[in-house]
């Protein structure tokens, strides 16, 4: 499958999904080699719904099976990484899994460290706006804009 990511003049457009997986007062996160902490996430594939993408990404990265996924937020995310500008649409889902037993043989498990983070540490998540999503208990689908960078051509 081909990811929905497009190289453009000055940067890249991404369509991604992220999972909020809770176990009592903890959330499941990915810690990357550069120290960045994010929700379990990945790119949507061409022809794939965001709902199907979140199930696939959770399984690929953790080995967990998704029981249910409810859209919680849509984030328009503008940032730079490695001197490239990114314009990203991030669909964040509240996800329930059939268990909390991680599979270390999962397809993408070795690319990052998968660990449980106390919900009180949500401010360490990137992008920073995810902290607002984690705290939100409104029951409504949020639409947020995270403007960490501006496109400069």
Cβ(35)–Cβ(123) under 8 Å? no
CATH superfamily of 5-147: Nucleoside Triphosphate Pyrophosphohydrolase (3.90.79.10)
Question: Which tens digit of pLDDT belongs to each residue from 23-80?
Answer: 999 999 999 888 899 999 999 999 999 999 999 999 998 999 999 999 999 999 999 9
Residue 8 CA, chain-centre distance (Å), reads 22
pTM reported for the whole predicted model = 0.93
Gap between the Cα atoms of 118 and 63, Å rounded: 21
Gap between the Cα atoms of 39 and 130, Å rounded: 8
Domain boundaries, the chain: 5-147
């Amino acid at each position: 499958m081909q990811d929905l990511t497009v190289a453009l003049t000055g940067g890249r457009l991404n369509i991604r999904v992220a999972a909020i997986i809770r176990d009592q007062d903890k959330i499941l996160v990915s810690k990357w080699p550069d120290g960045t902490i994010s929700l379990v996430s990945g790119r949507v594939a061409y022809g794939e719904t965001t709902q199907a993408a979140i199930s696939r990404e959770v399984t690929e990265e953790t080995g967990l099976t998704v029981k249910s996924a409810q859209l919680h937020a849509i984030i328009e995310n503008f940032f730079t990484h490695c001197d490239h500008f990114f314009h990203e649409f991030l669909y964040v889902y509240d996800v329930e899994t059939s268990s909390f037993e991680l599979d270390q043989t999962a397809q993408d498990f070795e690319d990052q460290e998968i660990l449980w983070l106390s919900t009180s540490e949500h401010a360490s998540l990137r992008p920073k706006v995810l902290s607002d999503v984690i705290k939100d208990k409104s029951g409504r689908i949020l639409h947020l804009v995270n403007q960490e960078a501006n496109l400069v051509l």
